[in-house]
Structure 1
Amino acid sequence: MSYVVRDFVVVFGLAAAAARFDSWLFWPFYWVAQGTMFWALFVIGHDCGHGSFSKDPNLNSVVGHILNAPTLVPYHGWRISHRTHHQNQGHVEKDESWNPLPQRMYNSLDTLTKNMRFTLPFPMLAFPVYLFMRTPGKTGSHFHPNSDVFLPNEKKDVLISTASCLTMVGVLARLTFVMGPLMMIKLYAIPHVVFIMWLDFVTYLNHHGHHDKIPWYRGKEWSYLRGGLTTIDRDYGLINNIHHDISTHMIHHLFPQIPHYHLVEATKAAKPVLGKYYREPEKSGPLPFHLLKELSRSLKNDRYVSDTRDVVYYQSDP
C-alpha cells in the first residue's frame, strides 16, 4: 500500500505544480512525468488483478478500481482478459496480447491496416482500441459483459468496472466545466496519451523484438512453461523503479503471484535455474533510448508467422 500512497502523492503533486505554474516551460516535463506516473499506477493495479497485491480479493478489487479508473481502464474487464493472456502466453492463436498474425491473415490486410499496426506511432496508441475491440481475429469489448472472453459469473464484475470508468468520465466532464477544456487537456488528456504509449511500448517489448529468434507455439508444442520462457526482460534505467520493475517479465509470467517489489530478487534467484533460457537484458543508461531502436527494428521485421507449423518464428516481408 505504501507504493499506492507514493504514486498518488507524486501524481497530485505534479498536477498541483502544473496548475500553479501554468507555464509552457513546465508543461512538457509535466506531460512526460505525469503520463509515466499514470503508467506506474496501472502497474500496481495490474498486481491487484493477479492477486499479488493482497491475499484479500476484495481489497485487490477495491484498490484495483481506485488505481485503474483514473486511466479509464475497466479493472475487471482487463483483469480477466489479462488472465487469458497469462494462461496462453506464446500461443499463436490463443494469446491475448500482441499475438502474431498468421501469414494468411497478414496478407489479407489492406495497406492502411498494415500501416496502423506496424508504423510508428500508431502501434503505441493501440491500447484504447484493444479495450473496445480486442485484437484482430477476436471479438467483444472489455466494457461489455457479454463479450466471449468473460464467463457468465463474471458479467456483474465487468459491469461494475465499466460503471467505474463511466463515473470517471463524469468526474472529468465536471472538472472540464470548472477548469476549462484547455486546462484539462493539459492536465489530463496529454498525460493520458503518454500513459497509453508507455503501456503499449513496455507490453510490446516484453513479448516481442529481440535479436535472438523467439518461438511461438501451437497445438501440443505449447505449454505454460514454454510460453512463459518466450517473454523478455528489459532494462529501463531510472524508469525501472518508477514503473515497479514490471519489465523483469519472465519471472512474472512464470510466477504471476510474486508482487512487483520481489521481481528483481526472484529473477536473480531463478537465473541459475533458467540457464540459457534466460535472456539477459541489454543494460540501459539513465533513460531507455536504446529500446526505441529495438522497437523500430521489431516493427519492421516481425510481421507474421507461418499458417501451419506448430513451432513458428516471426518473418518479415520479402
Structure 2
Amino acid sequence: MATWVLSECGLKSLAPVFPKPRTGFAVSNNSDAKFLSTNKEVTNLKFQFQPKSFDFKEKRKWGLNVSTPLRVDSIEQEHEHEQEQELPEFDPGSPPPFSLADIRAAIPKHCWVKDSWKSMSYVLRDVVIVFGLAAAAAFLNNWMVWPLYWAAQGTMFWALFVLGHDCGHGSFSSDPNLNSVVGHLLHSSILVPYHGWRISHRTHHQNHGHVENDESWHPLTEKIFKSLDNVTRSLRFTAPFPLLAYPVYLWARSPGKTGSHFHPSSELFLPSEKKDIITSTACWTAMVALLVGLGFTMGPIPLLMLYGVPYAIFVMWLDLVTYLHHHGHEDKLPWYRGKEWSYLRGGLTTLDRDYGWLNNIHHDIGTHVVHHLFPQIPHYHLVEATEAARPVFGEYYKEPKKSAPLPFHLIGEFIRSLKKDHYVSDTGDIVYYQTDSEISGSSKSE
C-alpha cells in the first residue's frame, strides 16, 4: 500500500530497513512484527533479506520534493509560543468597547418603571420598624438591649436615608411633588437637608470619577494633601474618624472645596435653586427644634439613647457605604481629568458591594454601578438590571466579594484603603491613588 502511495506521488519507494531483532519478536519478510513467547523457536529464526543499493542522489531529490517542517517544537516551546500570543493584561483605565446605549439596551424595559405604591410600601415598612424598635427599647430599658437597639435603629435610619436618596434621584416616583414631600420627611427626620444634599449628590453623579469635579469622597491632589495640617490629615485617614465625616461635609464640604449645604448662596447651588435650599434648611431647623423640645420633655439622656446614638450609627453607615463604593478594591481604580474623563468611564470606576442579610434592609444600595450610570432605576430593580448588564460590562465590572450574613469583612477593606489611598498626582489625565509613607508606616510610597 505504501509503495502504491509513493508511486502515485511520483516518488520511488525506499528499500526496507529493519532493526536488529530483539528476543521475543519475529519479523517476517513482509515486515510484519509478531509477538512470540520466549522459547526455543526464537533462536531458530532466520532473517533473509537483501538490501538494495541506495541512490543518495535520489534521497536528496526525495527530501527536496517533500514538504516537511524544518523544525518541530517541543511541548514546552509550544506553551511558550501560546503565552507570547496571550492578550495583554486588562487595563481598567482604557476606554470601554461598549457605550452607555449598549448597557441601556441590555436592561429589561420593566426595570425602568417606577411604582409609587411599591415605593411607599417600603417607606411604611421602615417607619413602622423604626417606631417599633424605639418603643421596645424604651419599654425594656435594659443595658443588654440598648446596644442591640442602637445597631438596629442606626441601620434603619440609614434605610430611611436611602429611600430619601431615591426621592432625590426621582427614582422613587414619577410624581415630583411626591418625591419632594417624602424626601423632606425622611431626610429631615435624620437631620439631612433634602434639597441641599440632593443637588450636591446630583453633582457627584454627573462628575463621578473626575478628580476635581466629583463631590463625594473624591481624591485629594498631592498639593492639597501636603498642605493639610497634621491633625486634619490624621483624622481623615485614621479609623474610625472618617466614619464621622458626614455632618462636617454638610457644613464645610471636603478639603479644597468651600460651601455649605444649608446656605442658599453657597457655590454648590445655582441662583434658581435658592428657594429649594431655604425650604430644606427650614425643615432641618424644625427637626432640630423638635429634638430640643424632646430633650426638655424626656431629658437629654433618654433622647441620646433613643435618637443620638442611632444617629451616630447612621452616619457611620453612610460614610462607610459611600466610601467603599469608590475605594478599597484589590486593584487600583483610575480617576480622570480632561478629555480622558467621560460619564461612562467615570461610572465604571464605582464598585458593587455585598452586605449579606442587610442588602434588602437598606434597599440594595450596594448594587451601585448600574445605579450610578442610571440613577432613575428604582432600587427594587437594581439587582435584575445589574445581572442583565454584566455581560456588557465584561472585565469592567468588579465582582463583589460574597458577604457573610453580616458584612464585617468590609471593615477590614475600609481600614486597608485608608492606609494606602491618600492622594493622586497633581498632573495627568488618568491617575491612581498613591500612598504616603508616614501614614502607611511603610518605607516608601506605592
The SS at the match of 1:91 is: coil
Instruction: Name the structure 1 match of 2:381.
Output: 262
1:54 and 1:137 map into 2 onto residues whose CA distance is 35
Instruction: Name the structure 2 match of 1:214.
Output: 333
1:126 and 1:134 map into 2 onto residues whose CA distance is 9
> Does residue 431 of structure 2 align to residue 312 of structure 1?
yes
Decide which structure has the larger Cα Rg and report it: 2
> Does residue 435 of structure 2 align to residue 284 of structure 1?
no
1:111 and 1:137 map into 2 onto residues whose CA distance is 16
Alignment of 1:63-212 (within 5 A): 63-212=182-331
More off after superposition, 104-113 vs 290-299: 104-113
The SS at the match of 1:207 is: coil
Over residues 48-77 of structure 1, what are the superposed CA-to-partner deviations in whole Å (9 max), with x where a residue is unaligned? 000000111111000000110011000000
Shift of 1:212: 1.2
> Does residue 418 of structure 2 align to residue 299 of structure 1?
yes
2:358 and 2:230 map into 1 onto residues whose CA distance is 35
Report the residue type matching 2:332 in the other structure.
Answer: K
Over residues 169-215 of structure 1, what are the superposed CA-to-partner deviations in whole Å (9 max), with x where a residue is unaligned? 11111111111111000000000000000000000001111011100
1:208 and 1:120 map into 2 onto residues whose CA distance is 15
Instruction: Name the structure 1 match of 2:78.
Output: none
Report the residue type matching 1:189 in the other structure.
Answer: G
Question: TM-score by structure 1 length?
Answer: 0.99
Instruction: Name the structure 1 match of 2:38.
Output: none
1:275 and 1:292 map into 2 onto residues whose CA distance is 28
Instruction: Name the structure 1 match of 2:124.
Output: 5
Question: Which structure is higher in RCO with an 8 Å CA cutoff and minimum separation 6?
Answer: 1
1:274 and 1:184 map into 2 onto residues whose CA distance is 48
Shift of 1:110: 1.7
The SS at the match of 2:332 is: coil
Higher helix share: 1
Instruction: Name the structure 2 match of 1:241.
Output: 360
The SS at the match of 2:325 is: helix
Report the residue type matching 2:386 in the other structure.
Answer: T
> Does residue 167 of structure 2 align to residue 43 of structure 1?
no
1:158 and 1:22 map into 2 onto residues whose CA distance is 39
Over residues 111-148 of structure 1, what are the superposed CA-to-partner deviations in whole Å (9 max), with x where a residue is unaligned? 11111100011100000000000111111100000001
The SS at the match of 1:232 is: coil
Over residues 148-178 of structure 1, what are the superposed CA-to-partner deviations in whole Å (9 max), with x where a residue is unaligned? 1101111000010000011001111111111
2:292 and 2:225 map into 1 onto residues whose CA distance is 40
Report the residue type matching 1:103 in the other structure.
Answer: E
Report the residue type matching 1:131 in the other structure.
Answer: L
Report the residue type matching 1:68 in the other structure.
Answer: H
Q: Which residues of structure 1 form unaligned runs of 5+?
A: none
Over residues 31-57 of structure 1, what are the superposed CA-to-partner deviations in whole Å (9 max), with x where a residue is unaligned? 000000000000000000000001111
1:52 to 171, 176, 195: 171
2:181 to 62, 74, 78: 62
- Which aligned runs of 4 or more in structure 1 are off by greater than 2 angstroms? none
1:109 and 1:152 map into 2 onto residues whose CA distance is 32
Shift of 1:105: 1.0
The SS at the match of 2:423 is: coil
Report the residue type matching 1:200 in the other structure.
Answer: D
> Does residue 386 of structure 2 align to residue 272 of structure 1?
no
The SS at the match of 1:198 is: helix
Percent of aligned pairs sharing the same letter: 71
2:227 and 2:277 map into 1 onto residues whose CA distance is 33
The SS at the match of 1:4 is: helix
